[in-house]
Amino acid sequence: MAAAPVTDLSDSRFLRACRREPVDATPIWLMRQAGRYMPEYRALREKYSILELIKTPELACEVTLQPLNAFDLDAAIIFADILPLLEGLGLVLEFARGEGPVLHNPVRTAVDVEALLVLPPEEALPFTLKAIRLARRELEGRGIPLIGFSGAPFTLAAYAVEGGSSRNYEKVKGLMMGDPVTWHRLMEKLSEAVGHYLLAQAQAGAQALQIFDSWVGVLSPDDYRTLVMPYSHHAIEIARGGGVPIIHFSTNTGGMLELIREAGGDVIGVDWRIDLATARERLGNGVAIQGNLDPVALMAPWPELRRRARHVLDRAAGQPGHIFNLGHGVLPRTPVDNVRRLVEFVHESTRR
């Protein structure tokens, strides 16, 4: 397949912020900016399952572009999910109605881990790579960079071992504590798969990458340092071969923010549980920061939403290297007009 367009967007507001360079206004994009809060997306979901949307490149491209056509966002993020990577390793994935994602053959033993087959991303996840190429073509001339992404090794391991979402993460922690040899082998495989998947997305045309460690906040700092951080670092180092900025996002990790930075990333994404200025001070000057509005605030009446957005911007203090985002994804009942007004407010109130 022909390569995606190669228009240089390095001077775009978003990519400049990733490099901690001055910008004319604070850039904003939103995790899950394409999703159920948008009527255009709901119309597609009436016809197609979530996996059909993800695995049909033309549809994934269409969904990727929906929020860009509705709002003046500074970046697109490819419409995908973190779990098909596990499917590519040999797990059986189902998005069960009312239950969320279910993996029918969870990884619990050394035999299970050895059975995982790490294929090249072009074989395991060709649909997402094609969707990236299509989206880059559609975005050509609009000056909007495209973000690719993957789950981080721990978050993927949590899904793989638990067999889906979890409240206490007893099974994955049990594997870490009870069979460390098997745990390290699992993380070795996942870090290779994640790193090469991110690299392939950059090679397909993604101009930035985000690694999501959504569940790593359930760990102690010591467990993260010894049992997880080396593998996140390895995946990020592989992805660095793509030559694009890497955003390292995690939630509920205020107790180990310095370790998250040590694991790697040009931008550290933080959630609303930590003050933005405090996070920036702890991270130091060598990385940009992304965040950190509570997603529920995006559902609030406009005066309250504006107040909270203003607070985030005040804590960022206009310093280079801040990308406005939520602390997690847009919620399904979010009013579309609130998203529009937030994007306009961030731009208008930070014009320099």
Catalytic residues: 32, 36, 45, 81, 159
- Nearest by Cα to 148 from 282, 246, 33: 246
| Contact criterion met (CB below 8 Å) for 102 and 159 | no
For 147, list phi and psi in degrees, rounded to 5: -100, 130
| Contact criterion met (CB below 8 Å) for 312 and 276 | yes
Cα 281 vs. chain centroid, distance in angstroms?
A: 23
Place of tokens 């045309």: 205
**CA–CA distance from 224 to each of 23, 251, 263, 287 (Å)?**
35, 13, 10, 20
